[in-house]
Amino acid sequence: MSEKSLTGIRLTALDGLRIVAALMVVFYHYVTLASAWGRPGSAVFPVAQPVAEYGWLGVEVFFLVSGFVICMSTWGRTLGDFAISRISRLYPAYWAAVAFTAGVLWLWPEVRRVEHWSDVLVNLSMMQGGLHVQNLDDGYWTLFVELKFYVLFALVVLRGVTYRNCVLFCGLWTAAGVMAPTAGSGLLDFFAIPQFAPYFVAGIAFHLMRRFRPTHLLWVIVVLQFLLAQTYVAARLDANVDHDANVWPARLVIALAFAAMAAIALGAFDRVQWRWLRTAGGITYPLYLIHMIAGLTVIHHFRDRVPPVPLATGLAVVMIIIAWLIQRYVERPAARLLRAGLHRGLEDIRAAGSPRATAPLPVVVRRLGPPREDYVQSRSPTRPRA
């Protein structure tokens, strides 16, 4: 997916923010989780652990970037084009990651084992979050959150992605997120995603600043989302850290992420065009998908034979290489094929629904006997015409 501004400048800084977020999550999983090392991360990495325990915030950064990128990439597109771009972007690398993780768990069922292979098949749909089927990799939970965001933003695409419609969407989603915790409606809470909606909404507002200009209204939206996000920071910290930890570093990381997005929106990083950042941004998604359960399994398998620092560092490098291989030799070619096939299917649907396809077909019938003037009889077509 090309991430270029209206001036044709690729927003390479977004790639940089993505890879930072991905490495934060990898750092968090490989350093802090006792399930891999057999003892607390503080005992294995006493120096790195106090920093790594805030790496889960990389997910919040991903959602912030996602709001910006989705709003940018859907401008001027139809609903069908939006669906095709998301399917071809998400699924090829995801299918490869599911196969990779399932293979690792089959070889070394140490941290987790595959109890039912039917669950692996359900995981291939990416819909397991709504079916109470266990994620093959715990990191997949974020994908279902992304899918809900896409469903919601599809309503904007259906109406037309405009400044007015995007601002209206931000206002309505903010209101839903505020009401959901006390409304007692499971459906509202399911789609409002109050914990993470502020990041998506802020990302959309940042893109509107980039596309048009920063206005007081957009800054109010961004500041409001930052304040609303603070509601859930302490709970997120408790869910991801198994001991009492200061919440202020988490709030600081979120503030820095908002500041970085504001700088990107205002063009402060337009001169950052390092090619290696584009490559790094490209491997972010497959790296996120493959690193966790497979990586923890490898750590568990070799923890008594390899010192912790070389093991964690070497594993991260190996995962980056595998992610690059998936992105280069699986995701890119498969995405092209999938996109082409989906476009053909979309064209068939459009052709079947066109006036030419539904209009009665003229049939010329000539009567037997003396020559007479032909007449036209109408009948319904037996199949759509392209």
Q: What is the pLDDT of residues 115-168, one digit of tens each?
A: 889 999 999 999 999 999 999 999 999 999 999 999 999 999 999 999 999 999
Question: What single letter denotes the amino acid at residue 138?
Answer: D
C-alpha–C-alpha distance, residues 160 and 162, integer Å:
6
| Banded pLDDT at 243 (limits 50, 70, 90) | confident
Task: Look at residue 371 in the predicted model and tell me its pLDDT.
Answer: 40
Task: Look at residue 10 in the predicted model and tell me its pLDDT.
Answer: 80
Apex 327 CA angle, 322 and 331, nearest 5: 130
Mean pLDDT of 337-362: 78
| pLDDT for 372 beyond 60 | no
Q: Where are the domains of the chain?
A: 12-379
From 16-25, 227-236, 348-357, 374-383, the region with the lowest mean pLDDT: 374-383
| pLDDT tens, position by position, 303-347 | 999 999 999 999 999 999 999 999 999 999 999 999 999 999 988
What residues pair up with 25 in beta bridges, in sequence order?
none
C-alpha–C-alpha distance, residues 75 and 317, integer Å:
36
C-alpha–C-alpha distance, residues 10 and 24, integer Å:
24
Task: Look at residue 261 in the predicted model and tell me its pLDDT.
Answer: 98
Task: Look at residue 115 in the predicted model and tell me its pLDDT.
Answer: 87
